Amino acid sequence: MARGASETERTAVGWAARDAGGHLSPFSYTLRKTGPEDVAIKVLYCGICHTDIHQAKNHLGMSRYPMVPGHEVVGEVEEVGAEVTKFRAGDVVGVGLIVGCCRECHPCKSSNEQYCPKKIWSYNDVYPDGKPTQGGFSSAMVVDQKFVVKIPAGMAPEQAAPLLCAGVTVYSPLKRFNLAAPGLRGGVLGLGGVGHMGVKLAKAMGHHVTVISSSDKKRGEAVDHLGADAFLASSDGAAMAAAAGTLDYVIDTVPAHHPLEPYLALLGLDGKLIVMGVIGQPLSFLSPMLMLGRKSIAGSFVGSVEEAEETLAFCKDKGVTSQIEVVKMGYVNEALERLERNDVRYRFVVDVAGSNLDGAA
Ligand SMILES: NC(=O)C1=CN([C@@H]2O[C@H](COP(=O)(O)OP(=O)(O)OC[C@H]3O[C@@H](n4cnc5c(N)ncnc54)[C@H](OP(=O)(O)O)[C@@H]3O)[C@@H](O)[C@H]2O)C=CC1
Ligand SMILES: O=C/C=C/c1ccc(O)c(O)c1
Ligand SMILES: [Zn+2]
Ligand SMILES: [Zn+2]
């Protein structure tokens, strides 16, 4: 199909969680008709982010079911609405965590639409008409063109998927907090999906990168395969003490409650601890840990559409790729379990179009 909105709602088959057990199974639902500004997408690949576990398992107490997760979506355009100018049928495109915003508030007007108070999440949310949003572990999505990006020519679609959340999530704060200049000394706490993109992007920006990990297990991989310059096991008190005051920033990707002080101690003057993990319990620190060094703790939430485009272009230009394990949808529950027990190097990507979505592996 090409330009011109189809007159009918179409059926999509996704894999949905039905309750906080978080087990995904086939689920059919209707997509809205392709509106004038809409892009109808056949999903090719979708990355699995730890947020998908938080949401499917209701870690934040705000989950709605049935829920089709997935927000690192790469697909092929099947049809575009009459007003769509950026895309045409056959384009390979990406969609991330956000699929709607008000377009009128300060964040929206300043290309920070991910901070719009009326933003619409790609799943576990509702459109203004009350229809639930559903994510990328599905045969298809219909998305407003504003929230769709082009995948650069020559970039493998499965490689691109993790850039749409993990990649932009580290690119955005490095840029916004003026931490993109070469020569900086950065730390990445937690070497998972977001963390490994942190190492790769920071290295491509010319930083000296230290991985801070919960054990020694990933030392070899971090240094030999990902190109980290140094590695600290957070359990090694002597090594942590020796590194005190040496870093300009730490990107903290830990998805569970943890102390902040060991990582604040690694920062030098004006250092920034950028908290990325979604943690439903209060984190704490002693105020002198910030004051004695003029340090700050900041948060950051994915990135804007513009920043997603920049991340893709930056990765293409610098030859940055994600390190992924591609799986079929029939394996998605095992993949979620393995992700939860820290057993993936470093992102699962589901081959959605190559899977039998009706249930077989
Ligand atoms: N702010 C935002 O916009 C975004 C937030 N997120 C959030 O960031 C977090 C990380 O996501 P993602 O990278 O996909 O997750 P992963 O599970 O892929 O990686 C997290 C890493 O943190 C470490 N870790 C895991 N559990 C613990 C623990 N209990 N204590 C200490 N360290 C731990 C592990 O690294 P190691 O083995 O090195 O210790 C692990 O590989 C999640 O909470 C996710 O929801 C994700 C994307 C965007
Ligand atoms: O994967 C991206 C999502 C990040 C996220 C940040 C904050 C929050 O409350 C979430 O539910 C998810
Ligand atoms: Zn994510
Ligand atoms: Zn807005």
DSSP 180-246: -STT-EEEEES-SHHHHHHHHHHHHTT-EEEEEESSSTTHHIIIIIS--SEEEETT-HHHHHHTTT-
- pLDDT at res. 219: 97
Q: What is the pTM of this model?
A: 0.97
- pLDDT at res. 10: 86
The bridge status of strand 208-213 relative to strand 185-189 is parallel
Beta-bridge mates of residue 348:
48, 325
- Mutation choice for ligand 2 from 54, 252, 304, 311, CB with most ligand atoms inside 8 A: 54
Residue 339: its H or E element: helix 332-340
- pLDDT at res. 5: 58
Q: Is the ipTM of this complex over 0.90?
A: yes
Provide block-wise average pLDDT over 10 residues at a time, the chain (361 residues): 62 98 98 97 98 97 97 98 97 98 98 98 96 98 98 97 98 98 98 98 98 97 96 98 98 97 98 97 95 98 98 98 98 98 97 90 40
Q: What is the pLDDT of residues 279-291, one digit of tens each?
A: 999 999 999 999 9
The bridge status of strand 120-121 relative to strand 24-31 is unpaired
CA–CA distance, 306 with 207 (Å, rounded to integer): 23
Do residues 164 and 74 lie in contact, with contact meaning Cβ atoms separated by under 8 Å?
yes
**Residue located nearest, by CA, to atom 28 of ligand 1:** 256
Q: Which residues line ligand 1 (CB under 6 A)?
A: 49-51, 54, 165, 169, 190-195, 213-214, 218, 253-256, 258, 276-278, 300-302, 339, 342
Distance in Å, CA 303 to ligand 4 centroid: 14
> In this structure, how many other beta carbons lie within 10 angstroms of the beta carbon of residue 109?
12
Phi and psi dihedrals of 35, rounded to 5? -80, 175
Distance in Å, CA 188 to ligand 1 centroid: 11
- Mutation choice for ligand 1 from 236, 278, 344, CB with most ligand atoms inside 8 A: 278
> CB-based contacts of 24: which residues, under 8 Å, 6+ apart?
15, 16, 17, 56, 69, 137, 332, 333, 336
Can you tell me which atom of ligand 1 is nearest the CA of 49? Answer: 14
Do residues 198 and 170 lie in contact, with contact meaning Cβ atoms separated by under 8 Å?
yes
- pLDDT at res. 6: 64
Closest residue by Cα to residue 94 from 16, 169, 39 = 39
Q: What is the pLDDT of residues 300-328, one digit of tens each?
A: 999 999 999 999 999 999 999 999 999 99
Phi and psi dihedrals of 243, rounded to 5? -95, 5
- pLDDT at res. 360: 47
Residue 164 CA: distances (Å) to CA of 15, 34, 72, 142, 337:
20, 23, 5, 17, 22
- pLDDT at res. 359: 76
Q: Is 146 exposed, middle or buried (0-12, 13-18, 19+ CB in 10 A)?
A: middle
- pLDDT at res. 8: 73
Q: Residue 184 is encoded by which pair of tokens?
A: 């900086």
Q: Is 26 exposed, middle or buried (0-12, 13-18, 19+ CB in 10 A)?
A: middle
| One-character DSSP codes across 32-64 | PP--TTEEEEEEEEEEE-HHHHHHHTTTTS---
Determine whether the shortest distance from the Cβ of 165 to ligand 2 is under 6 A. yes
Determine whether the shortest distance from the Cβ of 97 to ligand 2 is under 6 A. yes
> CB-based contacts of 60: which residues, under 8 Å, 6+ apart?
54, 278, 280
